[in-house]
Amino acid sequence: MSQNPANMSTRPRLRGPGSSPESGEVILELSSLRLREPRKRWRSAFIAIYFTRALRSLVREIIGNTTETLINVKGIDENVMEDRSFASVYREKLVSMMKDKRLDHLHELGGAERIAAELMSNPETGIRGDEEDLRRRRAAFGENKYHRPPPKSFLYFVVDSLKDLTIIILLACASLSLAFGIKEEGPSEGWYDGGSISIAVFMVVMVSAVTNFRQSRQFHELSKVSENIQINVVRNGRRHHISIFDIVVGDVVSLKIGDQIPADGLFLDGHSLQVDESSMTGESDHIEINKESHPFLVSGGKVVDGYGRMLVISVGMNTAWGELMSSISHDNNELTPLQSRLSKLTSAIGKAGSLIAFFVLVVLLVRYFTGNTVDENGKRQYIGKKTKVDDIMNGVVHIISVAVTIIVVAIPEGLPLAVTLTLAYSMKRMMADQAMVRRLSACETMGSATIICTDKTGTLTMNQMKVVKFTLGKEAILGNKVAVINPGIIELIHQGVALNTTASVYKADSLSEPEFSGSPTEKAILYWAVMELNMDMAKMKPSYEILHVETFNSQKKRSGALVRKKSTNTVHAHWKGAAEIILRMCSKYYDKSGAVKTLDEDDRKAVLHKIEAMASQALRCIAFAHLEVDHQTLIEEKLIFLGVVGLKDPCREGVKEAIDLCRRAKVKIKMITGDNILTAKAIALECGILESSTLTDSELVEGVQFRNFGYEERMEKIGQIKVMARSSPADKLLMIKSLKEKGEVVAVTGDGTNDAPALKEANVGLAMGIQGTEVAKESSDIIIMDDNFKSVVSILKWGRCVYNNIQKFIQFQLTVNVAALIINLVAACSAGEVPLTAVQLLWVNLIMDTLGALALATDRPTDELMDKPPIGWTQPLITNVMWRNLSFQALYQVTVLLTLQFKGKSIFKVKELVKNTIIFNTFVLCQVFNEFNARKLEKKNVFQGIIRNRLFLWIVAATIILQVLMVELLRKFADTERLNWTQWAICVVIAALSWPLAWVVKCIPVPEKPFLDYLKRKRS
């Protein structure tokens, strides 16, 4: 049915009784319906159609209208709601208001509560949050994601590989060789030399591009995981923990210290909320958030103090943060310390290789132009003026290509690739071991860590708190607490628990079990109050008005709330925190009858004795204090002591074994905690950080003592300290700085916002993934996803494994480099030719650079890595053990291959081409067998654990298969000749002899002092 404007006046209208159509009050009038068709049997059908259209029109008018209405949209069937219900103009106004922070626009729109209603959200219960509701909101306002710059394509890496100077020279030589070959011998035969080099170069380029492309994708995926922050929202009255990407407009988000603001939004309520917007504005000053002057919360900001709730207004690309992030490239161009050191090594080897290649080039050119080189038929290649120009050019191009290929083999380009591979592989595997690497260099640095400073709660313990003891005043309360404690005291405890907390309780109905959310400590106390003291959180909140809040922080170790009881209009100050700190704030105490008594020195000692008794049983002690005041100031003295709860947090399974493993690896463990020194001592003894048989007073210290030490005293005692209790973030930072001054490599764990400076100062900052704030995570190098100390030890192993894998590859590659350079140099100088062609050398380059890196860089860490001390930062990359191994292997290969070069024809009674094929085959197989030797730098059993590294076995198998194809089938391409079974057996036996040789060589002792140090001393 048409709906043209002419018929609008005859349509059924929804309007207020006795009012104009512009009135905001609405009722439905059907009496004015007039049907054009007189037949009565259609009457009911027409009524239904008109009613439906009228209802849909009403919904559109209500949602699009910013004036007040008297209709409850919740009563309308959601099936008639369309995405157009969120008006486009209104959306743009909200986005503009948030980006420009326009208070006048906010007032025009009726404030945060009015906007929440227009967005079909409730400040208390949030949005409905069902799938249909979320779909409509995403369709209307977009998703909370920004447009990432596209990752580099495969073609980019192909082009990048082709930019290498040696590759360009080889391709130029191949093109010239191809042109001359086709001109001389025709297309059918003349393409072999130039075409073979081109194909070999193409293979090297493609393999390098594929490897780099895969690693780039892997880093890209890991960066997306690191950005997947978890946020607390309220939906349908229940608190949910969801991904930042799942936030929608209308969501009510709960914010606390350390949280990242997930989207642009408006402040609803909260206390002492301060935000750091330096990531957006560059201003370091913290912004006080309130309803009156600054209610705007922008995406990307960090909460540095207080807590609150916000209404999400703009998400994704509609925020300034989204626009900023979409313009930033996420490519990881970080150069790690190990990569920097390897670049220098690569440069030094490359220079030596280039010098040798130049020398070979000169020798071959001189021999060619003096008529000392012959072709396959024994004829001289250069006969003065009789030689054709094309032949001369072809000969020179061939010599240049050989020289350039020697450079390709000499330059260990696989070293940087091996680092990238092993780091990428380690990052992927570490994710499976509950560790997410944010900075690549941290993987390497962990291998050098000499000290780990760890938190207690959640790292050494399970972070599963439970109240197991309660003391009221001086008396321990057992059994039914409600029955023995005065109801007035119970009410005060209810106030102190319910109104001075950042946790919450949700109960769907009177019959359902309550659900607790918040930090483990807060949840445990709430659970105790609800289950044992019959506290009703739903009744407590509306009965009181919170006037002022001082949020908990690790510096003060306490939190306070000033509240007004609405029924009596009385004001109460409540404090909660570390037991001995709260006790110092009190001058009186309650007994269980409700009587207030003076807290004299004897009583104070009695209470303190109770606290110490709890702490010595590894309980966390949290005390409560109260005072009724006649003013609106949260006082901090002369309070009335209520009582203490003791919370049990058991040690994690396997922590003691992990600490023993660190001790075996010569890595010291220091526990830094904010808990009572007796609690810290009990946990440290249980975990094995302290040993009761050797325990001394110098091993335990409180933060206040440590910070009051003089510089010399601190530096003297810091090595003995194993536990620091009642420490502040400043004490932790001072500890780390002092340890670094003593030359230690320090890894530190942290979870709070105030831990950020310490995490940044440490050589490796380890943030907790579960309890850690976003500020702590952003300041860290690695995030421990399960908050478990065992994962810290796993990272330590991976750090050592990365370094060990690189050393394996260095030994393997330098053996090939040394052998190939010496063979080509000696052969060129003595015989005027090199035994290995350009294509064969490129194939060797492919084996050692890419396949070798893949095979040796992917070994997983073993416990034997923890039998060695930490890797020193100044320790040379090539150790004495590596020099010994590679020297003997290179000497063996050079001796065998030069023997084959000069005596091979007479020994095997074969032609020149077959002899060269045997040399090529033996050389490649030597590298395959030497890959096994490189797996273990010191151990004689090189096959230990080889089954676990299937990738190594697959690569070895693939290399052998490809080598067989090169020799037997691709003869024209590789310039080889088929070998018989005997010749193959000889090649394999010669190569296999490297295994017993390696076993014998590893029996030769080497000094611990690096060889290069002796050379430096002689020079000086």
Q: How far apart are CA 905 and CA 846, in angstroms?
A: 28
Note whether 399 and 365 are within 8 A (CB): yes
Would you give the DSSP letter of residue 385? Answer: G
Note whether 880 and 807 are within 8 A (CB): no
Q: How many CB atoms lie within 10 A of CB 538?
A: 12
Note whether 762 and 749 are within 8 A (CB): no
Catalytic residue among 193, 305, 455, 731: 455
Tokens of 72: 């409850």
Query: Looking at this protein, which amino acid is placed at residue 623?
Result: A
């007479």: which residue's tokens? 906
Q: Strand 746-750 relative to strand 451-454: parallel, antiparallel, unpaired?
A: parallel
654: left (phi over 0), alpha (psi -120 to 50) or beta: left
455 is catalytic: yes
Q: How far apart are CA 141 and CA 94, in angstroms?
A: 11
């209603």: which residue's tokens? 117
Note whether 316 and 146 are within 8 A (CB): yes
Q: How many CB atoms lie within 10 A of CB 825?
A: 17
Q: Strand 668-672 relative to strand 700-702: parallel, antiparallel, unpaired?
A: unpaired
Q: How many CB atoms lie within 10 A of CB 425?
A: 22
Could you tell me how many helices (H) and strands (E) the chain has, helices first? 38, 28
B/e letters for 435-450, b = 16+ CB within 10 Å, e = fewer, are bbbbebbbbbbbbbbb
Q: At what angle do helices 677-687 and 655-664 cross, to 10 degrees?
A: 80
Torsional sign, CA 390, 394, 399, 400 = positive
Note whether 272 and 228 are within 8 A (CB): no
CA 774 to chain centre: 12
Q: Strand 668-672 relative to strand 287-288: parallel, antiparallel, unpaired?
A: unpaired
User: Which are the contacts of 935, defined by CB distance < 8 A and separation ≥ 6?
Assistant: 808, 856, 859, 942, 946, 952
DSSP states along 126-190 = BB---HHHHHHHHHHH--S---PPPPPPHHHHHHHHHT-HHHHHHHHHHHHHHHHHHHHH-HHHH
DSSP states along 6-43 = GGGGGS--EE-TTS-TT-S--EE--TT---SS--GGGH
Residues belonging to the active site: 455
